[in-house]
């Protein structure tokens, strides 16, 4: 009993114009850096302000504050790079169309364009979140003093 496939090349060869890694980069880098910014900020201020059972006697060193600001800048740049990659992918897939849904599901058309568009929106939303966290870390004292 032999099995034959309808498409010997593979599923949805039309979607190979943009690699999945670029689409994944565009859709996930900004949220990952936002989470990293939140976790690193929480960890650094917790260690600096509450190193034991009681609040620390001194405020965090300038080194910790500078490291947090540096990571904030890196996170903003990563979000911008993610948006740029997604925008480039979206422009590159402008030939894809939605059209008849049964046809689009069969050939995979529109999938790369959707992921690129999702990456652009995701990057912009998380760029805003990282920017507001950066503003907060620059204006609010780390230990509330």
Residue-wise pLDDT tens digits, 79-92: 999 999 999 998 88
One-character DSSP codes across 62-99: HHHHHHHHHHHHHHHHHHHHHHHHHHHHHHHTTT----
Specify the higher pLDDT residue, 52 or 101: 52
Flag whether the pTM goes above 0.85: no
Q: Distance between CA atoms of 45 and 65, rounded to whole angstroms?
A: 9
Provide the pLDDT for residue 123. 96
Q: Pull the structure tokens for residue 18.
A: 């943009």
Instruction: Please count the other Cβ atoms lying within 10 Å of the Cβ belonging to residue 136.
Output: 11
Q: What are the Cα distances from residue 87, in Å, to 22, 28, 49, 100, 118?
A: 11, 14, 41, 25, 10
Read off the pLDDT of residues 42-53 as tens digits, 9 standing for 90 and up. Answer: 888 887 777 767
| Residue 79, Cβ density class (10 Å: 0-12 exposed, 13-18 middle, ≥19 buried) | buried
């Amino acid at each position: 009993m032999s099995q034959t496939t309808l498409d010997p090349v593979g599923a949805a060869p039309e979607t190979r114009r943009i690699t999945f890694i670029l689409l994944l980069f565009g859709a996930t880098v900004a949220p990952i850096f936002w989470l990293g910014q939140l976790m690193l900020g929480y960890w650094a201020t917790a260690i600096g302000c509450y190193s034991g059972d009681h609040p620390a006697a001194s405020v965090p060193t300038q080194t910790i504050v500078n490291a947090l600001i540096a990571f904030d800048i890196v996170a903003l740049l990563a979000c911008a790079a993610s948006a740029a990659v997604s925008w480039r992918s979206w422009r590159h897939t402008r030939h894809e169309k939605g059209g008849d849904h049964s046809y689009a599901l069969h050939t995979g058309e529109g999938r790369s364009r959707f992921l690129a568009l999702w990456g652009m929106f995701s990057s912009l939303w998380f760029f805003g979140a990282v920017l507001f966290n950066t503003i907060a870390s620059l204006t609010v004292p780390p230990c509330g003093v």
